[in-house]
Amino acid sequence: MINIPAMGNRKLQFRSTLSLVTAKGPIASQRWMDLLVHIGESRSISQAAKAVGLTYKAAWDAIDAMNNLAPGPLVKSSKGGQGGGGTELTADGRRLVEAFQAVAAEHHRFVEKLDTGLGVRPAELSTMRRLTMLTSARNHFAGTVSKIIRGAVNDQVVVALPGGARIVATITHQSSKNLGLRKGIEVVALIKASWVIVAVDDEKPLKLSVRNQLRGTIKRLTPGAVNTEVVIGLPGGQSVLAIITKDAARELKLRVNRSATALFKASSVILGVAA
């Protein structure tokens, strides 16, 4: 942290933070990496969440996001047994933490060497805040464009996810052009939780016009006063979060470990690429 000249009666401080960014986009902040460290030490989500100042739910949301964006799952849960259940880091998760800590140490030494004041105007600080905004979409999926069907007005873009699943997005041809989309490029697909429909099919295939049907197993159910949050784990290690009414959850007889399918329209998918 570096002190910079005071402006009026306000003293501003310039802070440097470290985050991990892949070609698929941002994957983790310092707090998220600290969360992984504590999971590795305690094998407990609740203890790790408390240690980094997150709620239990926020910690799980962070884990789901990291698992979705990383090449492979970073955290895994195991059921109880002779050795007891718990949550632990995968080999990929442990390697990522070690690498991040090594880079963080170098980053800290670099910041300490910066001993000159930096004059930053309020307008510039406002710009910085805009550039570090986070999306409100709860579902983030990192994947690779596997197919594009060009149209006069709209393009259909197929995004392949790790593990074999795919997401189909319908965006305008101009948006596709602006993003520079082409086969093989890495993208991030965003879907709001309220746009996701949950279906249970009891192993029977669904015949619906909805293009996106991601089948998996319910990992968590979080009831609220009106709605219930449903997290469906996918075979590739990713997960989909949906928000449905409590009545719908009850009528569908949703429960943890039950098979379920997340449904959402191709027009509900927002695509993004690294700037």
Tens place of pLDDT per residue across the chain (275 aa): 333 333 344 344 445 566 666 555 555 677 888 899 999 999 999 999 999 998 999 899 889 888 888 888 889 887 654 544 678 899 988 988 888 888 777 766 665 654 344 454 555 544 444 344 445 678 888 889 999 999 888 999 999 998 889 999 999 988 998 889 999 998 889 999 999 999 997 656 567 788 899 999 999 999 999 999 999 999 888 899 999 999 999 999 999 999 999 999 999 999 988 76
Q: With respect to residue 61, please indicate whether it lies within any of the assigned structural domains.
A: yes
- In Å, what is the CA distance from 224 to each residue of 228, 244, 245, 246? 5, 10, 9, 8
Angle between helices 91-113 and 30-42 in degrees, nearest 10: 130
Same domain, residue pair 60 and 78:
yes
The range of the structural domain enclosing residue 25 comes to 20-113
Q: With respect to residue 15, please indicate whether it lies within any of the assigned structural domains.
A: no
Q: Is 66 left (phi over 0), alpha (psi -120 to 50) or beta?
A: alpha
Final residue in a domain of this structure, among 128, 155, 187: 187
Same domain, residue pair 89 and 60:
yes
Q: With respect to residue 128, please indicate whether it lies within any of the assigned structural domains.
A: no
Same domain, residue pair 107 and 163:
no
Same domain, residue pair 218 and 159:
no
Same domain, residue pair 262 and 226:
yes
Q: With respect to residue 220, please indicate whether it lies within any of the assigned structural domains.
A: yes
Q: With respect to residue 28, please indicate whether it lies within any of the assigned structural domains.
A: yes
CATH of the domain at 164: 2.40.50.100
Domain count, the chain: 3
Q: How far apart are the first and last CA of the chain?
A: 27
Residue with structure tokens 């003293």? 11
Can you give the pLDDT at residue 98?
A: 86
Same domain, residue pair 197 and 179:
no
Same domain, residue pair 83 and 148:
no
Same domain, residue pair 260 and 232:
yes
Can you give the pLDDT at residue 50?
A: 93
Final residue in a domain of this structure, among 158, 187, 216: 187
Quick: pLDDT tens for 103-120.
777 766 665 654 344 454
Final residue in a domain of this structure, among 187, 213, 243: 187
118 backbone dihedrals φ, ψ, rounded to 5°: -120, 120
Quick: pLDDT tens for 61-86.
889 888 888 888 889 887 654 544 67
Same domain, residue pair 24 and 107:
yes
Same domain, residue pair 25 and 103:
yes
